[in-house]
Structure 1
């Protein structure tokens, strides 16, 4: 049976950059996109919503990721079948918008859109009565079902005197011994402590949902006694459980007795030469840990307790190995024990606890990978019942910790790491501390960008026939570093090269086979080619005054009323990413082309023949008629001579023969 994701809104209609995904209304303020795809090449793209008839600049951003700290969210990165949760800005509801778009603000281009059905009714949280008051001072505010797995219990009071009390769910007309334990708000299954007016959330275990139970109770297992309960109605229509709920109270609950949120705890330590950041917070019998590191997709990060006190020791260590599985687009946090430093053989070595007869006591909370940084949040108990494989985190006092990076093997298990990728210093943490923060932002400075060098400029010399298609810009190696101009994610590819410089001779005729798209109703697929003296292009979108600042040499004609129109568009052909943009990972342009595939619509190419005027200037440009900054330079030389005339460091004179030469240089001007 297909999981329930909420009310279906529809599928993204793609206009550019591979935008796709199935869109659902989770609740009145939350949208879920199943399998979102986008190549990440828009220079100023965001999730964008509005109430105009169609996507337009009259909209606003949905912040994503939601937890980004700053004045404005970052531009939308590449996604490959990612499940995305979007929360509308404060005060907005799905009923207030007509559409969701992937929108580029800089170029006012709609990359993909989906419209909200006018009659759509989003699932809603359900408010129930308070706990029935039977024993031990149990009372609460009205309990709410936030989603199919989550209860919100406000103003909870309980004296904590029950010897074996738990949150308890089951079936039948009233609570009984035939129920199931539900972990408390900290994720612990220890007997419940006392509560003094606290607001908490609890979640049903495993695959259990509110549709599977008849009641929620506080129950003493040892004495089979019901302290109080609520009955679950059968006519629920609550949101699906997709991780959209928060610890804070929902927008629709605002009791006068609501307490201010507790102060943020900011414990943080850097290890492995500041390449790994560890944040922690003790929560009852658990510790919540966040690991962040700049690592590759095929690497793990490990953190935990040293096998010896007073020094770092891998043997005997109890660590969590955390990693991102790119193949399954999933995150993992696994409990490991190290009997020695060899790879796990099924009985000893660096092994997952479960593989050597133990239990995985680590619980994954969340994971994220962006800007080459993997961040994974998990909890682990302070103490377990596995004394051989698990070490105890003291409630107070320092304990030695260790960390490492390394590659994953074919089993997705930790493999050997280099000597520089493990702890060698005596590092200690007191997990009970608060506001022990000494981390800097150095991890989040995109150091990889410093290593990304532009590809060499490519030239086509001696050809008389050019194919002109659309393709990606090559990220930090392509269009922008070569031209110095901003891009909106696509550019001209000539003879299957990204914005090469073309060398042409005065008086010679050249043929351009143009496949830039001819559908005028779809701006993202309409790119007529023309030749001009403007390094920006975009003649068709300019005012009459700005048009006069350009001189057009080919690809534009005028009708009888004196209005310009393009003459060279043709069917649409585009070099597309097979998955997501890999330009940062490919050292050479040839390698980059291997990550692409050519996709062409049906139809015919347009043909543009151009005879270079004898008085043409030395520098012209091939450009897009409808958009700025898609093309690049045309070098115009004298008949029979190919060498540039302005001291450009390139090929020498080749003579009148038509010889194709590809020359590379790093000089840009």
Structure 2
């Protein structure tokens, strides 16, 4: 009696949990098709209450008027209805051989309401094969668990955790203060959370410490094709203290719909592997004085994968980094891993005769140190392997040390029209440190999955300013809008974009012969790390000018300069006979002491000039002004045909306690000029001049 009961319990457990050893979870098993004619066979599963899954389905396709047929009568017969095929069509069935089909019941009918599914021939009114749905059948559906139970003292709370399918779950109203330095979403097996679990990527696919959450609904996906049947608990794990901040237990044999993802068959052959992101991993092997690196990522055909040594020895820093930019050339069917050096977070441009930005080593006068030896792209996964020397061969290269941990950087983004890396969409948000020659090898990579990703959101409709009466445009810089903004329009989108009259990068309809005004709203500029080339403006129309610091340290700037159309003191190319408008943006001026009357020198002969400061603190003054005959930058009245002598006397001048009046010199003869500071100390300068 006891062996019979044990067998029944095993059969019941297998029927409730359709996760068997022969393949992935497909849903709740209904049964095998009974075969009567035309070699009909296959297994039938319920995906949810509206969808059926046929696995290893066979039919010879020789029936005259044969369809998928369902009904709620006692047995298959005329009292039924056609179930559309895998394409949603009601055509006569063709030949099938070991195929997997998803059939959705029509008109909102449910699996729990039908009694059978058949391959039925309407002309002969014969069933070539059928399967019966058990009574009181409960189809898979999303299931709610308990809320996350916080540990004592942990500031974590949530609603009831809900599994949408076997791989996807939601933590509703999730709250966490973000105080932990190494806190991750975590899952594993066992009676309670432990360090033997694995990370769950966050809602954006990152495997880095999570941020603070304030009542958000967080949707997560178990990594590497794992399902709810591979997890005993879900937790918020603090790796620093090796303790769970909150957790919830997952019941056995949860009757949920199967996930729509499939596991990609890629598996690296290199011993070391690091999962940088849900969609990106790097593996490597050190042999002698060389390192072999393999990059694998689920990226688009026009996207790149960047990886390399950090520009800093103490953190993962992009500036100064030595990276490889890998991409797949779909036209030539080959992979590229170009050696780049990052000197600024901008595209590669020439500044005062030197290349700065994200530049190829070859453009900087060096050689490409990477040697590509394999590349492939399959099912949206790009895999590329290359080799390079550990020791730097040129001054701009960085060393790959094996005796100590090394900080690395990585990024994923789009290639622009010149196949150069543009602004990244994925990148490291925390420090990433690797031990290249660790023994035993480090490997935390998990398989890539295919499908199941939400499609990219549609781009917002591009606005168009076509009003013929519109003559004034107001422009300002702002966010580029992410995937629905410029990224949805262009191949490579920047991080910031122009807003014109409140619209994101709209189309402008202009007419020839009309005068238009563009008013640019410009914020005060921060210090520039290096001097930029002086641009030349050759356009016609209206320009907007403003005043900004001209030095590299905002706290020490003592003079102001002109910015025209956002450019620092550019050259303007103007044409005769045309009308130009200059709109000057003036900030409210601070109170100034009353200016003294400006003297005029009307005498003739020789004038003596010396240099003195124009402000109260000589120690911080950085510019100098001319004093003529003891007067600060006076007006000189000169006459044609006369000879004048200017004697220049140069010596360090002391600061005056207060600004002197600006005199006017109307005399004739000889004057002497010198250069002196024009301001007081940087902290006290409060005025600007045009």
* TM value normalised by structure 1: 0.36
Q: Which has the higher contact order (CA 8 A, sep 6+)?
A: 1
User: Larger Rg: 1 or 2?
Assistant: 2
* TM value normalised by structure 2: 0.35
